[in-house]
Amino acid sequence: MIILGIETSCDESGIALYDEERGLLAHRVYSQITTHAPFGGVVPELASRDHIRKLVPLVYAVLSDAACELADIDVIAYTAGPGLAGALLVGASIASGLGYALGIPVIPLHHLEGHLLSALLVNPAPTFPFNALLVSGGHTQLITVFGVGNYHLLGETVDDAVGEAFDKTAKLLGLAYPGGPELSRVAQYGRGGRFRLPRPMLNSGDYNFSFSGLKTAVVTLVKDLVLDAQTIADIAHAFQDAVVDVLVSKSINAMVATKLDQLVVVGGVGANTQLRQRFSEVGIQQRLKVFYPDVEFCTDNAAMISYACAARIKSDHIQRNLVFSVSPRWELGELASH
């Protein structure tokens, strides 16, 4: 069975073809960076328009990459939320139109479920149950994954998501959009020890996070400084250190409390080199198996959506919608496992 995956929740247009037997056949992501860069952040209306322009050509490009034709597609999976309403509607409409034309099922998928299950694209893959640290532009959550559709939220951010904190701090430092990867790149040149930023909620005794105070600490810090290149790098280094400390420490606490030995790190911030390095070191010390998707599957992509659809079909947890809809706000806990 061949599944066409469509991802349009934010500023990346993703298309993938996944075969239940052969695995991922092909995938492409078109990033809208050049569209949004002049504005320093994502402009929702422009995102929707870019998705409209790119999605159909991407479908044909991915079909050609995989040496397939439209008639080979058996099922279409699209991201139905959470995300930007207009952007989601573009993906939903194209999925539904194509599904109607081809006479095949169209299945709405949860974006975060895509990120969670993207860990299973790794070879060797983790086995259920495992804990997941989901770190993206919109979410920061620690979740126990018992199986497909069976997710237990351990804790989450009470304010900004970690990717959002990266992006806002990068903007404060005058770094180019998209801020997260740029801040991380600049942090390599930073010197440790010059600045020390707070580790919010490090000892709160739960699995919740808070990142807005950290951003405020950077606002206060930069007020009295001349922001030359070295100072920016030193602050970026201190910021990244603080974030990584909190994420690693809370995740390890969750591993101990749940008595699980597999941790997956998923979502856009999972692409962060420093975070991956620290998790690898701590994983060895604590005898934990830490899994990360390849960097291309950490940030938004459709491979994870088509894979999540395949996993749902396999475990018989599918919802078939005749009338399509999107859910810009959608809690993972609302997903039914049956």
Q: Which residues bind ligand KG4 (CB under 6 A)?
A: 10, 136-138, 163-164, 166-167, 178-181, 184, 267-269, 271-272, 299-300
Q: Closest CB to ligand KG4 among 166 and 324? A: 166
Contact region with Zn ion (CB under 5 A), list: 15-23, 76-84, 129-137, 191-199: 129-137
| Contact call for residue 13 and Zn ion (CB under 5 A) | no
* CB contact set of 137 (below 8 Å; sequence gap of 6+): 10, 161, 163, 164, 167, 180, 268
Residue 225's φ and ψ, nearest 5 degrees, are: -120, 150
Neighbouring C-alpha atoms within 13 Å toward the C-beta of 85? 1
- Return the SS3 of 144: strand
Q: Is 300 in the site for Zn ion (CB under 5 A)?
A: yes
179 binds, among Zn ion, ligand KG4, none (CB under 5 to 8 A by kind): ligand KG4
Residue 271 binds: one of ligand KG4, Zn ion, none (C-beta under 5 to 8 A by kind): ligand KG4
Tell me the closest approach of the beta carbon of residue 226 to ligand KG4, in angstroms: 25
Q: Pick from Zn ion, ligand KG4, none: which does 138 bind, CB < 5 to 8 A by kind?
A: ligand KG4
Stretch touching Zn ion by CB under 5 A, among 229-237, 293-301, 307-315, 321-329:
293-301
Closer residue to Zn ion (CB): 11 or 300: 300
Q: How many CB atoms lie within 10 A of CB 40?
A: 14
Whether the Cβ atoms of residue 65 and residue 55 lie closer than 8 Å to each other: no
Angstrom distance (rounded) from CA 335 to CA 338 = 9
Judged by beta carbon distances under 5 to 8 A according to partner kind, the member of ligand KG4, Zn ion, none in contact with residue 241 is none
Among 136, 140, 251, 272, binds Zn ion (CB under 5 A): 136
Among 52, 48, 47, 6, smallest CA distance to 29 is for 6
Of residues 41, 114, 51, the one with CA closest to residue 82: 114
